Structure 1
Amino acid sequence: MTLRTRVLVLISALVVLAGVAAASVLHASARADRRDRAQPGGPRITAGTVALTGDSGRLIFRNMAWGPHRDELTTVQASGPRTASTVKCLRFHAASGTGVCLRAVHGTVQDTYRAVVLDAHLHETAHYDVPGIPSRARVSPSGRFAAWTAFVGGDSYAGTNFSTRAAIVDTRTGKLTPSLEAYRIVKDGRTYRAADVNFWGVTFTADDRAFYATLATRGRTYLVRGDLHTRTVTTLHTNVECPSLSPDGTHIAYKKRVRGLPKDAPWRLYVLDLRTLRETALAEPRSVDDQAVWRDDHTVVYALPGDYGADLYSLPSDGTGTPRRLLTAGVSPVYLD
């Protein structure tokens, strides 16, 4: 075989290999594209306008269904098709035309995270760095304050090698409290200090002064009431995580660790009457790792694992009834005022 023949054979082989590689890439791309368009039986989703104002009671959430609109803020009326925005969030909450969106910022080496304040048309008005993986988000009823929680490296939380950092921002002035650990803690009537303090799961009252959150220290969790003016938090009740205040300000929905349950599924949903501190176990037999929201003063909504990642369920807040699945492939729900 001459040198010229060898060269031609080599070139032909390279062309064939390149063709095979290109065909493989195209096939994989087409397969991913088919997956991204829709899964059989999945929700119908169309692109459109999503706003934080409009019909009272309308639901906005992070869409989890596979496709071009996965992770986008999406709205739905009753059982009709979903309308998706182009705004992607890992966690989301909104009230009175103001939203907070916790999102990933993809980098060449690693991802970072950001809390973005949104106006009623989902336009960014401000953003803040988040020091870890986003976990919870809340906006006060007036839209004046926004809060978020992130997992960061450090002390233990829920049996993992993480600690949490809870931040609050005044959306009008931009003043940021990067960590509630800067607040004075009052426990059992005395100022309390400890190196292992963690906060998470902020929920606001309607007066733009007070909030509730979880405080963890020395292996126990507490419901605390915070004061934005005095920068103080006071312990109220034990074994409370991810509190959520009812619209009328009288009850807290939360997840509680229950003895005897598996370590990887230790929580049950409860409601606490703030006037009497009486606890009511809700009729959800599964472990709920979520910060519930209130649809009204008598109904809580929360996420549980589903085929697409998470589904949304509702349940009466008085301990009666049975869980009802609201929709598939959704998380971080918000009901418009």
Structure 2
Amino acid sequence: MMRRIIAIVLLSLAMLVLLAGCTPKEIRTIRIELGTVTHPRPNPDLPRVHRNLDDAVKLYPNNGEVYHYVGRVAAIEKRYADMAAAFDKSDKLTPKLKSQNDMIRQKAWKELFEIGKQQAGEQKLDSALYSFESSAICWPERYESLVNAAVVAAQLGNYKKAYQLSSQAYKVAPDTLIVIETHAKMCVADSQYTEGRTMFEKVLSKNPTDPDVMLALANLCRNMNDTSCAVDYLRRALEINKNDTAAWFDLGILYFHTRNYCQAQDCFLKVVQLSPSDQDAIINFAMSSINCADSIAQTDAAAANAIYQQCKSEMDKLTAANPNNCEGWRYLAISCAKLKLKDEANVALSKFQACEKGK
């Protein structure tokens, strides 16, 4: 029995020697210099490693372990594109090495991503962009790198690159909300309005009560000259946030340009009620009121006169508080004339003319 045990041990040792002898000397040398993934050698002789790697790549082009070491050296030297290419080849040739390759990919990704965040926080935007892009090369499945890179590129004013980076992120994670939102914004920044509209609609499908997304879609529709679409999204947003003066103002502008003067008047009146000091809104209210009243004067004189009177009242308040607002005097004169208040109209007209000369 003892002889049999000894024979088995000797056979095992012989097999180990045989297996060691089967490993090419170039690979054995690299193993010694680099150490393992979990316990790498602190200061490998990289020139020696490079010499052996050059030979190994030529002699053993289908050996996945060779490309594993090519990737490790590239990672040490911060050549991330070379690292990624080598590990991809190693994964295909020797799938069992993928877990080790992934450990290095992920370590490099984390280091670069954290550096990128710090650089972005310090407004070192060019460096941050490089770090985020490099981290994306190391671990392409992490959409965070591409999203952050897109945002930084946009901050640098490179909207084309921002769009390309956010497009890559969308391909990686097409159902992730932050990715869709970022890509939507970068589409708009790069004037890719049709795609941007599709992206914002996808965001809205995930957050159907978000007024900010509705307002973004309204702006997109306006850029695409789709007024009815813009009006629809503005009205939907205002159903949720009824005190959004900017949205009421924008809706009033759209109604005015489409000659829906009475609806425009209602919108600008809402702005004036919410923000009484907004002189632009007050003047737009006056313009809309005059046009609205004119459009119904033939069919409903009483209603028209009520609108002229309301316009006059607002212009009285505006010119009293801001006598240098020439447009206020203009629309006061017009509203008085519409109400057949000849003397008041002449006074307001004189004030308007004097105001214009004093500019």
The TM-score normalised by the length of structure 2 is: 0.22
Compare relative contact order (CA 8 Å, sep 6+) and give the higher one, 1 or 2: 1
Kindly indicate which of the two structures has a greater share of residues assigned to strand: 1
Report which of the two has the higher share of helix: 2
Higher Rg of the two aligned structures: 2
Q: Normalising by structure 1, what TM-score? A: 0.23
